[in-house]
Amino acid sequence: MVDTEEQYHGKIVVGVDGSEASIEALRQARRLGEALDAEVVAVAFWEYPQTYMSYVSTAFEGFEERAGEILKEAVDKAFDSDLPASVTPRLRFGAVRPSLLDASKTALMIVVGRRGHGGFGGMLLGSVSSALVAHAHCPVLVVHSSET
């Protein structure tokens, strides 16, 4: 299913990858959502690994399921297994950066962790948060975890 911009209209969108920073981003987004009377969409993205042969993507299995597990684990950890009514988890197929940039066209705000899984140790911001800060169409909050 492809997201439409309307699905995020007026909502706080949180990019979730299971990192401690993204879990803290979920907590902060909920606090902001309560203060602004806005819904929060906790979204995790998945895609097939990039290969030199595009037709082999059907040979890969389990990526969607694992992303769904990571999303559920992150939401459970952020809210002690008590999902607030104002928070909706969503699992989407697609690349994180362009998907969140598209969501920013109608979202009230985008919230992401400072660096999730897969960054270089010396970077102050990850590639996704850097791209959002530079190119998003709405305010962006980059959250640090207590570990970073």
Res. 123 pLDDT band, cuts 50 70 90: very low
Predicted confidence (pLDDT) per residue in 22-45, tens digit: 999 999 999 999 999 999 999 999
CA distances from 119 to 3, 73, 100, 128 (A): 26, 21, 17, 10
Instruction: Enter the pTM of the model.
Output: 0.84
Averaged pLDDT, 16-25: 94
Averaged pLDDT, 86-109: 94
If one compares 57 and 81, the residue with the highest pLDDT of the two is 81
Res. 121 pLDDT band, cuts 50 70 90: very low
Taking the C-alpha atoms of residue 89 and residue 108, their distance in angstroms, rounded to an integer, is 17
For the chain, domains (ranges, CATH) are 5-143 (3.40.50.620)
